[in-house]
Amino acid sequence: MEKMIKTMFSKPYKFMIHCVLHALSHRKGAYDETSDYIMMIITYLVLNRPYNASQVIFNYLVENVGAGSGKYIMYPRFIMMMIDDLVKDIQKDDDDVLGLGT
């Protein structure tokens, strides 16, 4: 897997790379370098072309589950979205729902 360093890019692209890394990366650190799949997502965003980022996230989730580690827990929002899609009328506890403050 090829790594690219953020310092190679101009400021607007550095910021975009930074945001995508924090939003979609499955790592806990080393946010100054990007993986090839993150650069592919950024390329498609810059070119304004469709890209199935959910499939990328799902593939890494499955890989982490198959590895036998607890790393799949790094994807709680994605797992919650999958469960919500599969179980349409799932009962939710109002105390567990995080609302937006006004």
Q: What residue spans define the domains of the chain?
A: 1-51, 52-90
Average pLDDT per consecutive 10 residues, the chain (102 residues; last block may be shorter):
76 86 69 79 89 79 74 66 78 68 54
pLDDT for res 49: 92
* Class of residue 41 by CB neighbours under 10 A (exposed 0-12, middle 13-18, buried 19+): buried
